[in-house]
Chain A
């Protein structure tokens, strides 16, 4: 157990639907990062939050949004889902920024049918 908790572990949904992925960072970590991993695109950085504020944005689609709550847990919302959104979505946390190693959760495997 890495200390980063992601739920659900698996999600199967239909095209056009909306889902919410949840992440609880490791205790004491203020930064949360979301990544998408697919066979064709590899690991893609989506977005980072630090203590509730958006810090950096990567290749995140407009159909996707995220937020970090006062208790530091984060949610990634994916809407108008397409087949190509099927991927592993990872959340990671760190005590600071990019000068610290990241602790990854075990991921949410999203399958869009």
Chain B
């Protein structure tokens, strides 16, 4: 298995632009998580899906952030409009069962200038 696949690996965009991050979970995993990692705030859970349904989006910073999971093999995290404070590494993770641990993707390093 190729693991959790995220794209792009790096994204540099100007303030105000729309940014879309993509994630393909491991086949068969039924839970998917989006995390944001910064030096100041550490690893923050933004949203998680179970069987493609959003279960907890309390970590989504504000209305500029939205996430979708149209099917079991694909999810997107969209920021519109982007702001410099959104600069961070965004990780997607998936799991079959909680006690198996989460498998993280390689992350998307987002820089908003």
The answer to whether A and B interact is no
